[in-house]
Amino acid sequence: MLRVGIIGGAGYTAGELLRILLNHPEVSIVFVHSESNALKPLWTVHSGLFGETDMCFSDSAPLESIDVLFLCSGHGKSSAFWQEHPCPEGLKIIDLAQDFRDESEGYVYGLPELQKERIKGARKVANPGCFATAIQLCLLPLAKAGVLPDEVHVTALTGSTGAGVKPSATTHFSYRSSNLSVYKPFTHQHIPEIVRSLQSLQPSFPGELIFIPMRGDFTRGILASVHLKCALDEDEVKKLYEDYYKEAAFTFFYPLAPDIKQVVNTNKCLVGVEKHGEKLMVTSVIDNLLKGASGQAVQNMNLMCGLPEATGLRLKASAF
């Protein structure tokens, strides 16, 4: 059994991670650390875990007692954690924040559809961002084929859980309900990691990713819609996607227009394409808390630890 610890156990991603790991056949959870909830039962924060476990949040992080550590705290806090804690030799680390997505400090960028073999041999993995996952999965086959144009346009809509558990002026129910809004146009923090991945497959891509993120009036899911110029016909494009994802454990080429309800509560991504004249539209859908965060983190753990990639992640979409 893999002995697992979690830092930052009170947020949405930690709650989803616990839901998966409590049912993972090869995992034993040793501690779930939370400064603000220390010694309280997990279910007092993650109420869906009532009846699943009697475990309490820990006020300590005994790193020497575990094999795998998940860092689920906010951005910037992972770096601070390692300034205060020595890392035991051999400990495998999966960071869900953005601190090491540039592959600094020996971290490997953890998008399995891009670099599965590197993840298998990694000790430290930086989990991708949620928007970054959805957008890259739209574009990787085109980059692999070297057919990305100089300019790529993206509009993507995310559920409110993507903003974290603490409410703010633009995340609380009264604002999000029956409302849509744009935020961080052209400047979203996930753009650099997307561009790095695309350029690793197509060095000639100049990095002109025009991204308009939007807040949705729903809780979970991301729909990313990409459009660009493409000289290939629709059958050629479909063949690119079918070939690229034929061995992927959770990403599938979908022959119709995908929708969010098909993937919410799962670690899946569905990708569909449509050709209109010289313009190509690619659409992807994921659950932002699973394939966009905690599910992908467990997928990376499975790869790092030599387990079948889908272990503990055969989840059914809630659909209706």
Q: Which residues are catalytic?
A: 130
Dist CA 119 CA 57 (whole Å): 29
Dist CA 275 CA 227 (whole Å): 10
Q: Which of 60, 55, 47 is nearest to 29 (CA)?
A: 55
Q: Taking CA 238 as the corner, what is the angle to CA 234 and CA 243, rounded to the nearest 5 degrees?
A: 150
In the numeric block, which tokens belong to residue 144?
A: 């692999």
The count of other CB atoms within 10 Å of the CB of residue 216 is 21
216: Cβ contacts below 8 Å, ≥ 6 apart? 157, 158, 159, 160, 176, 180
User: Residues 22, 16: contact at Cβ < 8 Å?
Assistant: no
Dist CA 278 CA 155 (whole Å): 19
Dist CA 155 CA 254 (whole Å): 19
Q: Where are the beta strands (DSSP E) in 17-159?
A: 27-33, 68-71, 92-95, 108-109, 124-126, 151-158
- The identity of residue 104, as a single letter, is S
In the numeric block, which tokens belong to residue 218?
A: 């729903």
